[in-house]
């Protein structure tokens, strides 16, 4: 690894060989004449007044595009909602039907004396925890 002193001596040797002059030079008065030279090279343009009124389509086009965008987003949302919503509704209906069936069977079992009220309450609490 080179020390700082060695790096400084190498740097000074390189500067001595190359000199401190920049490699590129700008001609004298270049920037003072630049704007005038550029104006001379550009073509002449005549500006005419336009009295034409924009058509109705040009005025309403951004609003039509925005309405189409919102309609597309609404359609996509309704499609996704239908596909996900039907599964949720079917699943909830199945759960409710199962709860009703379990309660009806439990009532019959309690009345016939197969299980006691306490056993049913313990079973009901364990189902609710799931």
pLDDT digits (tens, 9 = 90+) for 57-100: 989 999 999 999 999 999 999 888 776 655 666 777 777 777 66
pLDDT by residue (tens digit) across 19-50?
Answer: 777 777 888 888 888 888 888 898 888 877 77
Tokens 């001596």 correspond to what residue? 9
Taking CA atoms, 101 is separated from 88, 93, 95, 105, 122, in Å, by 20, 12, 10, 6, 17
Is the separation of the CB atoms in 100 and 86 below 8 Å?
Answer: no
């Amino acid at each position: 690894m080179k020390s700082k002193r060695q790096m400084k001596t190498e740097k000074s040797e390189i500067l001595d060989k190359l000199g401190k002059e920049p490699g590129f030079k700008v001609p004298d008065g270049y920037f003072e004449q630049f704007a005038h030279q550029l104006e001379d090279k550009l073509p002449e343009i005549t500006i005419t007044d336009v009295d034409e009124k924009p058509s109705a389509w040009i005025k309403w086009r951004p609003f039509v595009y925005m309405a189409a965008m919102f309609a597309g987003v609404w359609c996509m949302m309704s499609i996704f909602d239908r596909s996900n919503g039907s599964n949720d509704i079917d699943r909830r209906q199945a759960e409710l039907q199962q709860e009703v069936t379990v309660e009806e069977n439990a009532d019959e079992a309690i009345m016939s004396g197969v299980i006691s009220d306490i056993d049913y309450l313990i079973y009901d609490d364990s189902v609710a925890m799931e």
